[in-house]
Amino acid sequence: MHKSYPNWLELDWGALQQNARAVQAYLGAGRTLWAVIKADAYGHGAVRVADALLQAGVSHFIVASLDEAIELREALPQRAFRLMTLYPPTTLDEWRTAAAYGVECVIDSLEGYTLACAAAQATERALPVHLELDTGMSRLGLTPEQIAPFLERFRPDAPLAWQSAFTHFACADSDPEFTREQLRLFREGVRQLQAGGFPKTPLHAAASAGMLTTPESLLDAVRCGLLLHGIAPTGLGTHSLCQSLRPVLSWRARVVSVRTIPKGQGVSYGARFRARRPTRVATLSVGYADGYPIGLTNRAPIALRGKLAPQIGRVCMDMLMVDATDIPEVQVGDIATLIGQDGDAVVRVETLAQLLDTTPHELTTRLGRRARRL
């Protein structure tokens, strides 16, 4: 790494490719792996992640927005892959742009279906589309009550190329019973659609958590994001598949200052930490402007010289402090690990997420642009 970088991310594309192969093996050869690389691949870098996954044989990708899809198409113009967005287009211009870039879009409402038909006629081509059903997420998709009105408007000869029908689980990492009820509603909705003339298409429901907790939800395809990056969904870190995966991302920062403060002296803004003994404070060149959550103040472990040390004092915009009293060999220029492994010391993003009562992907998607991706 360049000596001038105050903090940086190390990204292991070999681990990513290994994880993708492990996930595909878990799914079986008959199921399609849709790699979810929205939000800049959960902070890992969407273009580089897509390129590495293509080399590993993955050819189906999901992003959130049309902008994200365009970025991928323009960055990888010579590569052949299928690309789906989760946001349903809301204007004719968005549909035209999606068609121009070969992007497959979601229809999630009666209005969306009407707009898609109009867009297909205007562009004079059959548009590749996916139908979303809402089985309890209450976010996007046809509700069970809307299926009958949809079928009343549905035209089998409309210029739309149906690629799949799918749903999204709300509590796959915490409530398997409710997840199974969602799956039942989805199967019933698909049965009703097909009885009304909707074509048989591939079906998908599970994302990373669902594929681990509800195996019967694997269906024809799976949308997988977290697991590809070697990150376990909340509460599922002991699953055998999670144990076999390697984290792709590590986050390092430099020690820029070391000082000893007397007992009773405060550290950082608000003096939310006061030394209970003479304390050796190591200051790191990373803070909340880089994406390190201020909510981890006085709570998180940091790896230094192969040992774990506590973060102390309020996390600052550009710096944070560590109690290095029990690691006397720490000096200016040392490299600290915020996420990742340093010798026997490991800091996992899942651990930090648990401390904040949030999800691992919230942390990785908040990693700032100042942290160089290496």
pLDDT tens column, 244-288: 999 999 999 999 999 999 999 999 999 999 999 999 999 999 999
User: In terms of domains, do 62 and 197 share one?
Assistant: yes
Per-residue pLDDT at 229? 98
Per-residue pLDDT at 32? 97
**Last residue of a domain, which of 184, 200, 229?**
229
For range 348-357, the mean pLDDT: 97
User: In terms of domains, do 261 and 312 share one?
Assistant: yes
Question: How many CB atoms within 10 Å of residue 45?
Answer: 18
pLDDT tens column, 107-151: 999 999 999 999 999 988 899 999 999 999 999 999 999 999 999
User: In terms of domains, do 68 and 122 share one?
Assistant: yes
Q: For residue 337, what are the domain limits?
A: 249-373
Share of the chain residues as helix, strand and coil, in percent rounded to the nearest 5: 35, 25, 40
The closest alpha carbon to 299, from 353, 258, 252, belongs to 353
Does residue 109 belong to any structural domain of this protein? yes
User: In terms of domains, do 182 and 89 share one?
Assistant: yes
Per-residue pLDDT at 2? 53
pLDDT tens column, 15-65: 999 999 999 999 999 999 999 999 999 999 999 999 999 999 999 999 999
Distances (CA, A) of 22 to 33, 230, 374: 11, 10, 24
Per-residue pLDDT at 150? 97
Percent of the residues in the chain that have a pLDDT greater than 70, as a whole number:
99
Does residue 18 belong to any structural domain of this protein? no
Q: Is-contact 267 321, C-beta < 8 A?
A: yes
User: In terms of domains, do 214 and 303 share one?
Assistant: no
The closest alpha carbon to 219, from 172, 187, 241, 196, belongs to 187
pLDDT tens column, 170-190: 999 999 999 999 999 999 999
Q: Which residues are known catalytic residues?
A: 38, 269
User: In terms of domains, do 77 and 163 share one?
Assistant: yes
First to last CA, the chain: 7
**pLDDT tier, 104 (very low <50, low <70, confident <90, very high otherwise):** very high
Per-residue pLDDT at 291? 96
Mean pLDDT of the chain: 96
User: In terms of domains, do 254 and 360 share one?
Assistant: yes
User: How many domains would you assign to the chain?
Assistant: 2
Distance CA 30, CA 21 (A): 14
The CATH number that applies at residue 258 is 2.40.37.10
Does residue 72 belong to any structural domain of this protein? yes
Per-residue pLDDT at 3? 61
Percent of the residues in the chain that have a pLDDT greater than 90, as a whole number:
95
User: In terms of domains, do 157 and 208 share one?
Assistant: yes
User: If you ran DSSP here, which 8-state letter would residue 227 be given?
Assistant: G
Per-residue pLDDT at 368? 84
Give the ranges where 76-170 is alpha helix by DSSP (H).
92-100, 110-123, 147-153
